[in-house]
Amino acid sequence: MSLTWPWALTALLAFPLLLGYRWWTRRRRRRQAVRLSSVALVRAALPGRTAWRRRIPLWLFAIGLVVLGTGAARPQASVLVPSNSSSILLAIDVSASMCSTDIPPNRLTAAQEAARDFIDAQPKGARIGIVAFSGIAALLVAPTNDKDALRAAIDGLRTARGTAIGLGILSAIDAIAEINPDVAATGVDLPPGAAGAGGEYEPDTIVVLTDGANTQGVDPETAAEQAAARHLRVYTIGFGTTNPAPAVCTPDQIGGDAAFGGPPGQGRGFGGGGGVGNRNRELDEDALTQVATITGGEYFQAKDADELTEVLIDLPSSITLQREDLELTSWFALTGALLLLTALTLAHWWTRPTLVRPRPS
């Protein structure tokens, strides 16, 4: 917690002044004490207050003054709050193995449905970008709040050969660098000591969705180090099961190796909705976990369409947060006022005059 006006803490002097005034008044009353012949008459005239009833109002009043004095210094707390300027880069694997039918109708269709649900669930104004990667990576949609453009990009995903997870991460970094001046592009040399995921994270985040292992391009851990050096978190999602299943693409999911939105039917080796044979579809969970760990993100596994949708929709609650200073003055003022009011109420209630009834003779 920090203080905007630390000099206002001088108001806390009211506490020792209050104690000094109480000590002075008690001493003065002793000097002006009047001797009475009957102690019984004194006890009958005074209200029956125990020691704790005398002390509680005083201490509540003193604590209230301390709280109000602290509030006058305008305390601030550094808290995590939703960011209005953040964006999420969704990097989606469109390798040929995404046509595997272990998740019906196939992995790519299930991923497209989950991505659409994720886009629809975002509040108005949330910015999302789409990166697709197979053997290469490309930015399909720069971070935007245009949900129609995002849905069109998701619907137009086409498969191609290879899996370049690292390139997908680097493409997402460059997309963030275009909109966030505090993030350097991947080709920029960073100053010494910039590497590492410690310190404050940037509000923008990368989410990688893949069903396999990196087969070409930059190593995912190397790309993760680039993201960590720029204080960008990467959340990874491993999608698919270990159950053997044929890979069957629909005609509109087949694209050329050079582009993700190319004319259907130009993918080599799996045209006309055919299978991909015995292509390796093993999920490299160790690499995905390492990527998340390096960047301060988290790894999730989704074995079916429902789990994938749940992971994607729940992600923004944790990744679109940034640290801000929240002023606590009003809370201190309210608490201090309640303490003072309670102290005065108790003091008045416990010192009210009581009717002394004569005892029957």
* Domain architecture of the chain: domains with CATH: 2-78+326-350 (no CATH), 84-319 (3.40.50.410)
What's the CA gap between 89 and 111, in Å, rounded? Answer: 15
Instruction: Supply the DSSP string of 167-232, one letter for each residue.
Output: HHHHHHHHHHHHH-TTS--TTSPPPTT--SS-SPPPS-EEEEEESS---SSS-HHHHHHHHHHTT-
How many other CB atoms sit within 10 Å of the CB of residue 195?
13
Quickly count: other Cβ atoms within 10 Å of residue 292's Cβ. 20
Amino acid at 95: S
Q: Which residues partner with 90 through β-bridges?
A: 130, 207
Highest mean pLDDT among 48-57, 196-205, 258-267: 196-205
The Cα–Cα gap between 206 and 77 comes to 28
- Tens digit of each residue's pLDDT (9 = 90 or more) over 228-237: 999 999 999 9
pLDDT at 360: 59
Residue 244: is the preceding peptide bond cis (ω within 30°)? no
Q: Residue 17 to residues 10, 20, 21: CA-CA distances in angstroms?
A: 12, 5, 6
Tokens matching residue 319: 């990744």
SS3 of 111, please? helix
Any bridge partners for residue 91, and if so which?
A: 131, 208
Task: Give the tokens for residue 197.
Answer: 């995921």
Under a CB-based contact definition with an 8 Å cutoff, are residues 127 and 143 in contact?
A: yes
Q: For residue 169, which of 127, 226, 116, 95 has the smallest C-alpha distance? A: 226
Q: Which amino acid is at 307?
A: E
pLDDT of residue 230: 93
Among residues 235, 177, 229, the alpha carbon closest in space to that of 205 is found at: 235
204-249 residue pLDDT tens: 999 999 998 999 999 999 999 999 999 999 999 999 988 878 989 8
Does the pLDDT of residue 75 top 50, yes or no?
A: yes
- CA 206 vs CA 88, 99, 224: distances in Å: 6, 24, 10
Average pLDDT estimate for 323-341? 77
More confident residue, 318 or 315: 315
Contact indicator for 138, 82 with CB cutoff of 8 Å: no
Tokens representing residue 116 in the block: 């659409």
